[in-house]
């Protein structure tokens, strides 16, 4: 039951270029979406989120785009840096308030090459 | 910056034994969660906890699992009789809403 799908297990990008990570979801009840970054031997670290009433949210080098009609979101990292190399998880939840379980994708491993 | 802390970082247990995983959530957070990640698979929700009771649990969270907030700071996950398939990373998370903030996990290895 893959409600949240990240179809690219890995991505390699040159330093300074744009990284684009993609995520699709199937459950139309999801209305809040998050990206987490995970380094080895650490827990997921929250990166950026977007609610379904928006189509874009930006925080520094990170921008998340949401296309509700396509049930698709993407994370753009510009410019990519070697320290961005990590596994990126897309997650979705039913609503913004607390207590709602997150449903995660399988993750995309980003490698930024110097 | 406040963080969620989990102990131990690695727990090795014989099959059939009980294990308790411990978490100290961020101090002003009200919602607490456990997730797990089996090697090579997704992070999966186990249970959420609010106001001293379980709010929601997944199908994974069967009678072998229990959670407790024994005092004002700790949040624990107990597995009563461990099975080989319980081997996984277990992540604790806490929040005031969204986003949820995760600890670094406990690697549970069942022999």
Average pLDDT, chain A: 94
Where in the sequence is the domain holding A13, given as residue range(s)?
4-113
Asked if B84 and B15 count as a contact pair (C-beta separation under 8 A), the reply is: yes
Long-range Cβ contact pairs of A4-8 (< 8 A, separation 24 or more): A4/A90, A4/A91, A4/A92, A4/A103, A4/A104, A4/A105, A5/A105, A5/A106, A6/A88, A6/A89, A6/A90, A6/A105, A6/A106, A6/A107, A6/A108, A8/A108
Return the pLDDT at A9: 95
Task: State whether residue B44 sits within 8 Å of chain A by CB.
Answer: yes
* β pairing state of A72-77 and A19-25: antiparallel
The ranges assigned to domains in chain B are 5-110
- CATH number of the structural domain spanning residue A48: 2.60.40.10
Across the interface, whether the CB atoms of A101 and B42 are under 8 A apart is answered: no
Interface test with B, best of A59, A87, A102 (most B CBs within 10 A): A102
CB contacts under 8 A, A 2-31 vs B, are none
Per-residue confidence in pLDDT tens, chain B, 111 aa: 779 999 999 999 999 999 999 999 999 999 999 999 999 899 999 999 999 999 999 999 999 999 999 887 899 999 999 999 999 999 999 999 889 999 999 999 999
Q: CATH topology for B5-110? A: Immunoglobulin-like (2.60.40)
Return the pLDDT at A1: 63
Per the structure, the count of domains in chain A is 1
Q: What whole-number distance in Å separates Cα of residue B44 and Cα of residue B67?
A: 16
């Amino acid at each position: 039951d893959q409600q949240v799908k990240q179809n690219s297990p890995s991505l390699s990008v040159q330093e300074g270029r744009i990284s684009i990570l993609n995520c699709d979801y199937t459950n139309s009840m999801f209305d809040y979406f998050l990206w987490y970054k995970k380094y080895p031997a650490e827990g997921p670290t929250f990166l950026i989120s977007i609610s379904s009433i928006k189509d874009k949210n930006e925080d520094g080098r990170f921008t998340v785009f949401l296309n509700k009609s396509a049930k698709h979101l993407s994370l753009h990292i510009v410019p990519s840096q070697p320290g961005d190399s990590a596994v990126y998880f897309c997650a979705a939840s039913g609503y913004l308030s607390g207590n709602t379980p997150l449903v995660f994708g399988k993750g995309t491993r980003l490698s930024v090459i110097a | 910056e406040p963080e969620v802390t989990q102990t131990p970082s690695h727990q090795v247990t014989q099959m059939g034994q009980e294990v308790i995983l411990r978490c100290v959530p961020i101090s002003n957070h009200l919602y607490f969660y456990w997730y797990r990640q089996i090697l090579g698979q997704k992070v999966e929700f186990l249970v959420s906890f609010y106001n001293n009771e379980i709010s929601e649990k997944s199908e994974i969270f069967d009678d072998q699992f229990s959670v407790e907030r024994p005092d004002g700071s700790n949040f624990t996950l107990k597995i009563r009789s461990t099975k080989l398939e319980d081997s996984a990373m277990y992540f604790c998370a806490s929040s005031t809403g969204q986003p949820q903030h995760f600890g670094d996990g406990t690697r549970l290895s069942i022999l």
